[in-house]
Amino acid sequence: MRNNFKVFKRVYKHRCQPLEMQFFYRMILQRISNGLSPEEVSFLMGKALDFISKVESFKIKTILAIDYYIFCRVLEVGSIHAMMPLGMNLSKQKYAYELHVNTLDDEVIYHLYRLSI
């Protein structure tokens, strides 16, 4: 008996500072932990339904502070500071990142990589 797993894989690339990537990554984690789809979060934020999908696929390169604030309010994050990484080196150096999104029949798997340059 063969397993017929169908995997749909997408790879998104972005070059930015580590702190910016932490914001993107923590937004994804918060959305997933609340059990919401990108479309649901976009709707709750009062944005176009593809807004969060564009953020997560790096089609939107920067996030406005007000959008980040609204995102935190929608997902009931205690404060914006709760989303900030503690003890992180705030380097201005930019790195290349890849976000791999593997979509299976019943789950989605995210892998974030920082590429060495």
Out of 40-49, 62-71, 73-82, least confident range: 73-82
Q: How many alpha carbons fall within 13 Å on the CB side of residue 80?
A: 8
Is the CB of residue 16 less than 8 Å from the CB of residue 112? no
Q: How many helices (H) and strands (E) does the chain have?
A: 4, 3
SS3 117: coil
Could you tell me the pTM of the whole model? 0.78
Check residue 117 and give its pLDDT: 63
Residue 13 has pLDDT above 70, yes or no: yes
Domains of the chain by range and CATH? 8-115 (1.10.260.40)
d(CA 94, CA 19): 10
Check residue 39 and give its pLDDT: 96
Write the pLDDT tens digit of every residue in 74-106: 988 877 777 776 666 667 788 899 999 999 888
Check residue 65 and give its pLDDT: 86
